[in-house]
Amino acid sequence: MTYPSRTDTDIIISLILVIGEHSMIRKTHLMEKSNMNSKRLKLYLNWLELNDLVRIDGQKITLTEHGIRFRSRCLELVEA
């Protein structure tokens, strides 16, 4: 059985929601929760950091103020 691949938007929203569920999350835990390998996760985290949605401090990842606002908008869309 083949599953449809996730779009970049789906992955970004998923990452933001998972990071937001925890005030701080480690890369390994995020990798498990998001079902991604480390290479792919690194690409998305770099993009999120460049766009000021997350802050990466060593292995710890947190949402920035911009990321928190983006997460709340995502939740509004998911709940609608």
pLDDT tens by residue, 28-65: 999 999 999 999 999 999 999 999 999 999 999 999 99
Residue 77: pLDDT over 90:
no
- Mean pLDDT for the chain overall: 92
d(CA 69, CA 33): 22
The model carries a pTM of 0.88
Give the model's pLDDT for residue 4: 72
d(CA 73, CA 65): 13
Residue 3: pLDDT over 90:
no
Q: Which CATH number fits domain 8-79: 3.30.70.100, 1.10.3720.10, 1.10.10.10, 3.40.50.620?
A: 1.10.10.10
CA torsion sign for 51, 41, 38, 59 is positive
d(CA 74, CA 38): 24
d(CA 2, CA 26): 30
